[in-house]
Amino acid sequence: MDTPPSPAQISRWITDLASAIENERAAAARRWHSVARDLYTAAVSSWVGDVRFRELLLHPAEWASSFVTGIAVQPENFERIRRANGTPPLADVPPEQDAKEFELRIAEMDFDILTTRQPGGVGAIARFLEKFGEGIQQVEIYVRDVHRATTILRERFKLEPVYPAARAGANGTRVNFFLVPAQGKKVLLELVEAQTER
């Protein structure tokens, strides 16, 4: 997709993720995945040219398709999407992050559906929803060592992480974030070090 989705498209794609019709959910997932893929490849294609960084990816040969799209939605849509997709378990999110999330896999595409625990709160998801509305909040990249990956991005690419050191993420992961220019705006890239491979 060459142009960002319109507010009307975003609203429709979120509604369709909660559809009772499987084909509508899959079509919405493909649209979200396409937008995220364009942002992701624009942001990280230079990173994977660095052998040290590429070796830290869980799936280096499939790097262009090995990402997770994080979509922030309002709490009521979060519950609708979750019910429509078989009520996946909620992730164990550290309480101070004021977020709820669940993992969703549709037609071989991976998503994290995110919302705030406290609408109007001060958490990152609440602030995103307040400022931008619903949509892609982040794109996640799974790495073997988030500290080493962060160091490479800082030293080799002169990028500063959002946090000085990795922090606890959902389900026992360790994470850090980078705001990276892509397609004329900044995209939030989350480096995720999982306890086990996805």
* pLDDT average, residue stretch 62-74: 94
CATH number given to 7-193: 3.10.180.10
Higher pLDDT, 2 or 126: 126
Closest alpha carbon to 193 in 138, 144, 141: 144
Structure confidence by residue, pLDDT tens digits, 7-65: 999 999 999 999 999 999 999 999 999 999 999 999 999 999 999 999 999 989 899 98
Closest alpha carbon to 177 in 159, 195, 196, 194: 159
Judge whether residue 198 has pLDDT over 50.
no
Quickly state the pLDDT bin for 122 (edges 50, 70, 90).
Answer: confident
CA-to-CA dists, residue 118 to 35, 115, 141, 181, angstroms: 28, 9, 27, 29
| pLDDT (0 to 100) of residue 194 | 75
Quickly state the pLDDT bin for 116 (edges 50, 70, 90).
Answer: very high
Structure confidence by residue, pLDDT tens digits, 129-155: 999 999 999 999 999 999 999 999 999
Does this model's pTM top 0.85? My answer is yes
Judge whether residue 180 has pLDDT over 60.
yes
Judge whether residue 1 has pLDDT over 60.
no
Mean pLDDT of the chain: 92
Per DSSP, helices labelled H in the chain are 7-17, 22-44, 51-54, 75-84, 124-132, 146-157
Structure confidence by residue, pLDDT tens digits, 168-178: 999 999 999 99
Rg (CA), the chain: 16
Per domain, the residue ranges of the chain are 7-193
